[in-house]
Amino acid sequence: MSLSRSTGTFFGANKNNASTTVTTGTNSATQTLGATAGMSVGDSLYFATAAVYRFIQSITSGTVVVLTASVNSTTGETVTRSLNNNATMTSAVIDLLGNTTSVGDILVYADITSTVTAGTIDIYVEPQETSGSAYTIPGNSTQGGTSGNPTLSITPINGTQAVYIGRFQPDRYCTATICNNATGAAVTVSLNYTLEQLS
């Protein structure tokens, strides 16, 4: 038996939730990015240098988005996909262990950036026995839902906060759901984990 540690993410490309960057800065509603993978019409994007949120009106290619309003962007500026007010997003089902012969724990962390202090960010961590099953921690929601009690409910600050969510022992699979619960503004959320696996 050997113990290994690895890291991964439910939401966000890395700990700072950096989704992509601006390829060529311009003052326009049409922006060219490194990639639009994972983005959808209606999503809120946060432009870090300009310090503004903009909504996606259309996605015209794998690198170009049209926003509902212009933004004066800068080449290389970080652009993050954020969670709109009262919106919910659920991660893909993640095969954490990769087999049925090992065991492991995950330590889950969140990085939340907000400009408001109202409402809550509700996080649901949902271990699963089999891919797509509704096996959850007692009292929590079923897969992809928010009908039960959240694993952790966080009051946002005007700024960025790093929050330890907890340690969980999934049978093999896991998914997570985040709900922007009446904060009144879009927030940027990254949810990451460290896996300790014994195999």
Show which of 81, 103, 134 is a domain's final residue.
81
State the greatest distance between any 2 C-alpha atoms of the chain, in Å, as a whole number: 57
Higher pLDDT, 136 or 80: 80
pLDDT score for 26? 96
- The domain of 9 spans 3-14+86-198
End-to-end CA distance of the chain: 5
Q: Are both 134 and 186 inside the same structural domain?
A: yes
What would the pLDDT profile of 22-46 be if each residue is shown by its tens digit?
A: 999 999 999 999 988 777 787 778 8
Let me know: does 49 contact 31? Beta carbons within 8 Å: no
Let me know: does 175 contact 128? Beta carbons within 8 Å: yes
Q: Are both 95 and 129 inside the same structural domain?
A: yes
Q: Are both 147 and 187 inside the same structural domain?
A: yes
CA distances from 175 to 4, 68, 134, 135, 197 (A): 21, 31, 10, 10, 17
What would the pLDDT profile of 171-194 be if each residue is shown by its tens digit?
A: 888 888 888 998 888 888 888 899
pLDDT score for 27? 97
Q: Are both 9 and 97 inside the same structural domain?
A: yes
Read off the tokens for 198.
């014994």
Q: Are both 37 and 74 inside the same structural domain?
A: yes
- Separation CA 97–CA 129 (nearest Å): 11
Q: Are both 77 and 96 inside the same structural domain?
A: no
Q: Are both 96 and 164 inside the same structural domain?
A: yes
Show which of 81, 107, 133 is a domain's final residue.
81
